[in-house]
């Protein structure tokens, strides 16, 4: 059974409570039976809400969570992490007035003080085009046994490629790390743990594990004009589905400039790109690229399953044929608001836009109120909402030459302090956009984070024939010919998967 982040559902509301008490907008129409981030585990007050006397020190409601953190004193020993330069904010902070930077600084200082270490991040170019050089630094260090890095943070889409080269240690052999804690993503631990080998994990140690999560923003002003029920209500009632998105989107398909054609200058119900945002629907619809064989525990390809095909055909028809959808095939970067799909939304000409959660900050200058909700479920029969991250999020691995006990103690403390200090700061900054700061959005961000899932076949897609790119490739070419991907091509992918498993996890050559 997959590890569940149950603790997060209880603890995140406690972490967010001080933030939400200062929100300027309330959730007056919220379902009274639902639990918002302002409810749940409240922090005791100085007046003794938990039964204590006035004047007694406040009790940390999460103290038990941190009680079993591994301890040690390493007498000033250096702990070096290799990280991509474009995400240096994960590990470098200073007292500069920025809420996230100061939280990172506070986390680093707390861990250094508690463990007697000197934290030294090393930043190198680590974008997709830098992959060969970045991976080369890791491999060269391991081959030289120079112990240059104790922890490696790498771009998810490519850092997995060098696990097959034998450069990473098995996380299952690293003492001190507790993957059942809420600061780790339990789903990726389950999915990537194959034949008792686990080479990469992610969690709150990187903000990319939250800011790169796929989500949907909606224009509240346009939503009011439709007269439809609030999407927040649909989400809470389990009714936010693909059909609901279609229905809402269909209300806005307007030839704004009257030229007789639907172009980038017109108004749409739904705006999205034809690449990464499409991939998010595989996770949202529970359309797994691989599933674990119940007998062997090994991942097997599932792209020929009827449900995988049917779900693709449903989303492809909506994105490629519905006139209320603006489908951009020219996105480039996924940061900022200069992308075509984001531009339409920021100019008030789209009811919905698919985006990554962190881009909510780029919307702070829009002149309308907007909300944040998860990707829809496939249908109401689907039990839970799911999302996943744009594959530029950071994964963490341990060089096999590192001292594992040292790595485990430091990494667990860093992750725990990130959950305690950095995650609330990120939530605060994400909600500081002058229009998105409300209890509903906070509740939705918490839901999106706790519903993040990762699939072995998607994470390792580049190394096994790219089955994780099937949906986006077909939507990008506006083709519904999924048989071209799941027929003969599937056989080649099966062989690639078997070869990858043999070399990386089963000890083959």
User: pLDDT by residue (tens digit) across 365-393?
Assistant: 788 889 999 999 999 999 999 999 999 99
Averaged pLDDT, 283-304 = 97
Looking at residue 48, its pLDDT comes to: 34
Looking at residue 277, its pLDDT comes to: 92
- Residues for the chain: how many in total? 509
With H, G, I as helix, E, B as strand and everything else as coil, classify residue 389: strand
Q: In this structure, what are the phi and psi dihedrals at residue 42, rounded to the nearest 5 degrees?
A: -85, 150
Nearest residue to 252 (alpha-carbon basis) of 352, 339, 347, 355 = 352
pLDDT tens per residue, range 8-49? 443 444 444 444 433 433 333 333 223 222 223 223 223 333
Looking at residue 31, its pLDDT comes to: 36
Confidence of residue 53 (pLDDT cuts 50, 70, 90): very low
pLDDT tens per residue, range 145-184? 999 999 999 999 999 999 999 999 999 999 999 999 999 9
In terms of pTM, does the model score above 0.75? yes
Which token pair is 20?
């939400």
**Other residues' Cβ atoms within 10 Å of the Cβ of residue 119:** 18
Domain boundaries, the chain: 63-210+393-430, 214-387+460-504
Looking at residue 4, its pLDDT comes to: 39
The rounded mean pLDDT for the chain is: 86
Q: Which residues pair with 395 in a beta bridge?
A: 154
DSSP string, 290-331: EEE-TTT--EEE-TTSHHHHHHHHHHHHHHHH-TTEEEES--
Cβ pair 184, 430 in contact under 8 A: no
Architecture of domain 214-387+460-504: 3-Layer(aba) Sandwich (3.40)
Poorest-confidence range of 254-258, 306-310, 319-323?
Answer: 254-258
Looking at residue 44, its pLDDT comes to: 25
List the CATH code of the domain at 63-210+393-430. 3.40.190.10
Assess whether the region 63-210+393-430 and the region 214-387+460-504 belong to the same CATH fold. Answer: yes
Confidence of residue 56 (pLDDT cuts 50, 70, 90): low
Burial class (CB in 10 A: 0-12, 13-18, 19+), 47: exposed
Cβ pair 277, 289 in contact under 8 A: no
């Amino acid at each position: 059974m997959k590890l569940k982040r149950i603790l997060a559902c209880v603890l995140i509301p406690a972490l967010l409570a001080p933030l939400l008490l200062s929100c300027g907008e309330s959730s007056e129409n919220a379902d009274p039976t639902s639990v918002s981030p302002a409810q749940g585990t409240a922090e005791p007050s100085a007046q003794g809400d938990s039964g204590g006397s006035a004047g007694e020190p406040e009790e940390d409601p999460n103290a038990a969570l941190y009680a079993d953190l591994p301890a040690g004193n390493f007498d000033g020993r250096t702990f070096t992490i290799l990280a991509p330069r474009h995400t240096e904010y994960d590990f470098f902070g200073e007292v500069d007035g920025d809420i996230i930077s100061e939280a990172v600084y506070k986390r680093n200082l707390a861990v250094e003080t508690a463990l007697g270490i000197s934290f030294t991040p090393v930043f190198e170019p680590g974008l997709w085009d830098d992959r060969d050089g970045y991976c080369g630094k890791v491999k060269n260090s391991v081959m030289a046994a120079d112990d240059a890095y104790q922890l490696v943070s790498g771009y998810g889409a490519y850092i997995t490629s060098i696990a097959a080269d034998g450069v990473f240690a098995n996380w299952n052999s690293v003492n001190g790390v507790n993957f059942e804690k809420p600061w780790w993503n339990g789903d990726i631990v389950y999915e990537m743990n194959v034949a008792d080998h686990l080479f990469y994990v992610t969690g709150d140690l990187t903000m990319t594990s939250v800011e790169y999560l796929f989500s949907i923003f909606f224009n509240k002003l346009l939503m009011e004009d439709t007269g439809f029920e609030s999407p927040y209500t649909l989400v809470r009632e389990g009714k936010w589905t693909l059909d609901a998105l279609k229905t809402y989107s269909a209300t806005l398909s307007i030839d704004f400039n009257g030229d007789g054609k639907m172009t980038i200058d017109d108004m749409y119900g739904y705006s999205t790109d034809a690449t990464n945002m499409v991939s998010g629907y595989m996770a949202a619809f529970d359309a797994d690229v691989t599933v674990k064989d119940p007998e062997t525990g090994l991942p097997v390809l599932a792209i020929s399953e009827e449900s995988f095909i049917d779900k693709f055909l449903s989303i492809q028809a909506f994105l490629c044929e519905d006139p209320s959808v603006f489908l951009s095939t020219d996105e480039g970067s996924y940061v900022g608001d200069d992308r075509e799909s984001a531009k339409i939304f920021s100019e008030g000409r789209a009811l919905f836009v698919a985006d990554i959660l962190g881009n909510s900050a780029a919307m702070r200058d829009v002149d309308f109120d907007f909300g944040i909700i998860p990707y829809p479920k496939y249908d109401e029969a689907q039990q839970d909402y799911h999302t996943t991250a744009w594959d530029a999020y950071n994964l963490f691995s341990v060089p096999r030459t590192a001292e594992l006990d040292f790595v485990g103690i430091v990494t667990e403390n860093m992750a725990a302090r990130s959950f305690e200090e950095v995650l609330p700061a990120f939530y605060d900054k994400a909600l500081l956009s002058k229009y998105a700061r409300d209890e509903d959005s906070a509740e939705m961000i918490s839901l999106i984070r706790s519903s993040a899932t990762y699939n072995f076949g998607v994470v390792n897609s580049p190394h096994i024939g790219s089955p994780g790119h099937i949906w986006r490739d077909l939507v990008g070419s506006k083709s519904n010919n999924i048989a071209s991907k799941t027929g003969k091509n599937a056989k080649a992918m099966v062989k690639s998967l078997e070869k990858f498993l043999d070399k990386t996890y089963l000890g083959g050559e």
